Amino acid sequence: MQPTHRSSRILLPAKTWFAYLSLLVALALSYIPTGLTPGVPDWVALVLAFWSIREPLRVGMGAGFLFGVLVDIGHGAAMGQHALAYVVLCYLATSVSRRVLWFPPTQQALQMFPLLLLTQVIMVVVRLVAGAEFPGWWYFLSSLTSAALWVPLNYLLLLPQYQPVDRDDNRPI
């Protein structure tokens, strides 16, 4: 079956400040001290992937690097660990954005899962090479919960673009 372009609904242009505001909110969420609870979603990776797919010209590897460093500092992780993973994530998300946007959000989530998993694998490999202990398989649960949050997040972050400037019942948006 030929996939149809579900995002054919005409959206308002995305605002760059909103993209960066949502990234800041994601950063704040990632700073919530949850300790070592497994399955806490990686908010920053999720929002970065979202904007890399939606607006590849405005949010990309540069933002991935910047927010990766900020996460590294907040978490007390090795400097560059999250930055490296997020830069690769943004690159891959940007390069698949043309294809992914043809699918409805649930199928987009399925395609995002390997990317988010790869992000975590990069971080594990970096730390294992540096001599840390393997954190256990529960660690990878996080990318599953992140991918599951793709659909609600998709709706939430597109909400401002659904709002018409002046309401007109005869207009399609």
Partner 1 sequence: MSLAGHPSPPIFKQGPTPLVRLLVLVSVCLAMLVADLKFRYLEVVRQALSVATWPLQMAAAAPADFVRNAAVYFGTLVEVQKDNAALRGRELEAAQRLLRFEQLEEENRRLRGLLDMGPAVAAKSIAAEILYDAPDPFDLKVILNRGSQHGVEAGMAVVNEQGMIGQVTRVYPVQAEVTLLTDKDQAVPVQVARNGLRGVLAGAGQGRLELRFTLSGADVRVGDRLVTSGLDGLFLAGLPVADVVSVDRDAQTFAVIVCEPVAGVERTTQVRLLGRAEPPPPRPAPEPEPEPRKGLKG
Chain residues binding partner 1 by CB under 8 A are 24, 27-36, 60-62, 64-65, 68-70, 73-81, 83-84, 87-88, 91, 94-95, 126-127, 130-133, 135, 139
Q: Nearer to partner 1 by C-beta: 70 or 153?
A: 70
- Closer Cβ to partner 1, 77 or 158, answer by number: 77
Cβ closer to partner 1: 1 or 130? 130
Residues 163, 141: Cα–Cα separation, whole Å: 35
From 67, 91, 63, select the one nearest 80 (Cα to Cα): 67
State whether residue 32 is helix, strand or coil: coil
Output the smallest distance, CB 90 to partner 1, in A: 9
Residue 24 or 110 having the CB closest to partner 1? 24
Phi-psi region of 131 (alpha: psi -120 to 50; beta: other; left: phi over 0): left
- Which DSSP symbol is given to 39? T
Q: Looking only at Cα atoms, what is the longest distance across the chain?
A: 63
**What minimum distance in Å lies between the beta carbon of 130 and partner 1?**
5
To the nearest whole angstrom, how small is the minimum distance from the Cβ of residue 72 to partner 1? 8
Nearer to partner 1, 44 or 109 (CB): 44
CB of 73 to partner 1, least distance (A): 5
d(CA 124, CA 85) in angstroms, rounded, equals 10
* Terminal Cα distance for the chain, rounded: 28
Least distance CB 27 / partner 1 (angstroms): 6
Q: Which two tokens stand for residue 88?
A: 């690769």
